[in-house]
């Protein structure tokens, strides 16, 4: 990527000749690159920052991609400026806003919103629960930091949705399925459980989705995609056997069972708890 205005007159003339021959293309006004890099997200991000100048901040899904969500498939470059943004360009989104400096990180000279602020900002979008869970799993943000980030953006549209999601995250779900399961247990006043607890087995141990220590009951919630390949299926059978041999009761429920027949799921859990008692 080359910023035209930083070059000497002779170099600018050479750049213009290369662009005329199609060997260089214009990404943004005054920002050039080669045709093969034109669609590269990192190059377009660098171009956007060079175009907007030192006040630019990387935000939203672009910030998530640089922090807790490296495999986020967004191709949009999202940036923020404290003053009125420039005319929008296809592939770049520039919003106006002042972000408190305590919610900014600096990575390789790039300023971006920190993981907690980014996750909360995205928490009013579809699949926001998964975004919150990703940030928590990455350990780059805590739930307490997210609540403070929400307080730092008062009056935002969608803040009630953001607050509901944070309340739903009190038991640290690792997936949207676990979030739904935790909500079901709380709403039906089933107590005495902990989430994502490391339990020991003869082969070492593993994390249990929901664990009732007093009853040695483990409840697992698996989406179809979890067993979408043979290796995952085989590993899960081995894991379950190790848990049973270590003296745990194990119940497994699917997404469909949780959605279509939550009463049966609750009945199974209650019966297991009574049997253990």
pLDDT score of 226? 46
Identify whether the C-beta of residue 157 lies closer than 8 Å to the C-beta of residue 124: yes
- Report the run of H or E that residue 131 belongs to, with start and end: helix 128-138
Taking residues 80-109, report their average pLDDT. 89
Asked whether residue 136 carries a pLDDT value surpassing 90, the answer given is: no
Alpha-carbon span 135 to 143, nearest angstrom:
9
What is the reported pLDDT for 17?
A: 94
Average pLDDT rounded to a whole number, residues 143-168 = 91
Describe the crossing of helices 128-138 and 176-187 by its angle, rounded to 10 degrees.
100
pLDDT at 171: 67
Query: How confident is the prediction for the chain on average, in pLDDT?
Result: 89
Q: Where are the domains of the chain?
A: 39-168, 176-276
Residue 178 and residue 207 in contact, taking contact as beta carbons nearer than 8 Å? no
Mean pLDDT of 176-181: 82
Query: What is the tens place of the pLDDT at every residue in 16-30?
Result: 999 999 999 999 999
The residue ranking higher by pLDDT, 190 or 130, is 190
113 class by beta-carbon count within 10 Å (0-12 exposed, 13-18 middle, 19+ buried): buried
CATH number of 176-276: 3.40.960.10
Select the more confidently predicted residue: 168 or 78: 78
Tokens of 207: 């994390």
Rounded CA-CA distance 52/50 in Å is 6
pTM, full prediction: 0.71
CA distances from 97 to 10, 55, 79, 126, 153 (A): 39, 11, 10, 23, 11
d(CA 72, CA 134): 11
pLDDT tens digits for range 198-218 = 999 888 888 888 999 999 999
pLDDT for the residue 227: 45
Q: Characterize the bridge pairing of strands 77-81 and 249-254.
A: unpaired
Q: How far is CA 95 from CA 23, 109, 270, in A?
A: 32, 21, 50
Residue 125 pLDDT grade (very low, low, confident, very high; cuts 50, 70, 90): confident
- Two tokens, residue 146: 């997210």
- 3-state class (DSSP) for residue 16: helix
Length, in residues, of the chain: 277
Residue 85, pLDDT above cutoff 80: no
Tell me, what's the pLDDT at 222? 80
CB atoms within 10 A of CB 164: 13
């Amino acid at each position: 990527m080359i910023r035209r205005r930083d070059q000497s007159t002779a170099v600018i003339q050479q750049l213009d000749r290369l662009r005329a021959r199609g060997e260089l293309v214009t990404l943004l006004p005054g920002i050039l690159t080669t045709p093969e890099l034109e669609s590269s997200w990192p190059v377009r991000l660098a171009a956007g920052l060079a175009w907007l100048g030192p006040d630019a901040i990387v935000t939203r899904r672009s910030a998530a991609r640089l922090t807790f969500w490296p495999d986020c498939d967004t191709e949009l470059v999202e940036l923020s400026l404290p003053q009125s943004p420039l005319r929008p360009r296809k592939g770049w989104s520039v919003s106006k806003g002042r972000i408190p400096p305590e919610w900014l990180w600096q990575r390789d000279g790039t300023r971006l919103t920190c993981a907690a602020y980014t996750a909360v900002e995205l928490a009013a979008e579809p699949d926001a629960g998964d975004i919150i869970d990703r940030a928590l799993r990455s350990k780059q943000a805590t739930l307490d930091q997210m609540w403070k980030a929400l307080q730092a953006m008062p009056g935002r549209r969608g803040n009630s949705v953001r607050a509901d999601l944070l309340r739903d995250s009190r038991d640290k779900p690792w997936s949207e399925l676990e979030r739904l399961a935790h909500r079901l247990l709380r709403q039906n006043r089933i107590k005495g459980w902990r989430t994502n607890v490391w339990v020991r087995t003869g082969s070492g141990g593993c994390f249990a989705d929901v664990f009732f220590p007093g009853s040695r009951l483990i409840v697992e919630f698996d989406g179809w995609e979890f067993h979408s390949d043979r290796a995952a299926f085989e590993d899960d059978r081995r894991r379950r056997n190790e848990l049973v041999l270590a003296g745990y009761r194990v119940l497994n429920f699917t997404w469909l069972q949780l959605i279509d027949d939550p009463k049966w799921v609750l009945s199974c859990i209650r019966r297991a708890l009574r049997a253990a008692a």
